[in-house]
Amino acid sequence: MDRHTQGILLILLSAVAYSSAGYFTRLIHLDAWTMLFWRGLFAGLMIFCVIAVQHRRETWHAIRAIGRPGLLAALCSTGATILYINAFRRTAVADVAVIFAVAPFITAGLGWLWLGVTEAWSTLVASVLALAGVTLMMSGAVADGHLFGDLLALGMALLMSVMMLIIRRHHETPMLPAACLSALLCPLLVWPFTPALAVATPDMLKLFLFGTTQFGLGLVFLTIGGQMVSATENALINTLETPLAVAWVWICFSEVPTVPSFAGGIIVMAAVAGHVWYSNRPRLAAAAS
């Protein structure tokens, strides 16, 4: 399996992990700040353990090696995380997931303006199809009056796009320590706003799973995979989070998506699946021969 295929696989796994955020925010009946505190703490500790196993005696050197690019990526990720969880508390899961799906277009635009990056036509076609699916999903959500929550979600998408561009631009920089820093910055920043210690044991177990599986694994997969593919391709594959996030809360909490949401989700998934297949077609043909 070559580097590009590994990157796609890791980002697909990241999308699956991240898509469970809506499920956990519906499952855990605590305020957003308390969730951010424990989710970030558990995720940060998990990622630090991964770094320690990888680098052993060179752990501190690996952390220092992130430099300014890693610090900027960590700050973007932290800001996006804070907006993300608060958006779930102020709008529908489908709204947040759908708005995140515009990240490929934000990424492509910023990449062109900032880095002069042009994408392959197949990536752009898939992005346009994903946008059509997103537009269809949004048509049934705008009238619900969740403007502030939607704006928080849009800010999250913007920060995630910048983070993806930084990761791709500085692919030689070890970004896993930056992901660890991002996770640990969350509890540090939200500490003044939360009664973090007043959490019952059952909720603490849910927060542990939220932090390690949804945030920790998602961030690890996204950080490593994001250095193997283009930033726009990264964002495009992550649009799979949109229909998956809607599906989890539909199955587990009967939060039934509207017909536009359902149809748009199918279009998004088809666009991503088609792009993944097309981009790997030469590699599959070479492997078969």
Mean pLDDT of 162-182: 83
Chain centroid to Cα 200, Å, comes to: 28
* C-alpha 203, offset from chain centre: 23
Note the pLDDT of residue 229: 82
The CA R_g of the chain, rounded to the nearest whole Å, is: 18
- Tens of pLDDT, residues 94-151: 778 777 777 777 777 788 777 777 767 777 787 788 778 777 766 665 666 667 888 8
For residue 287, the model assigns a pLDDT of 57
The CA distance from 146 to 172, in Å, is 40
Which amino acid, one-letter code, is at 47? I
d(CA 104, CA 123): 9
Quick one: pLDDT band at residue 283, thresholds 50, 70, 90? low
Whole-prediction pTM: 0.76
Q: What is the pLDDT of residues 34-62, one digit of tens each?
A: 999 999 999 999 999 989 988 888 888 88
The answer to whether 146 touches 95, Cβ cutoff 8 Å, is: yes
Two tokens, residue 261: 């949401």
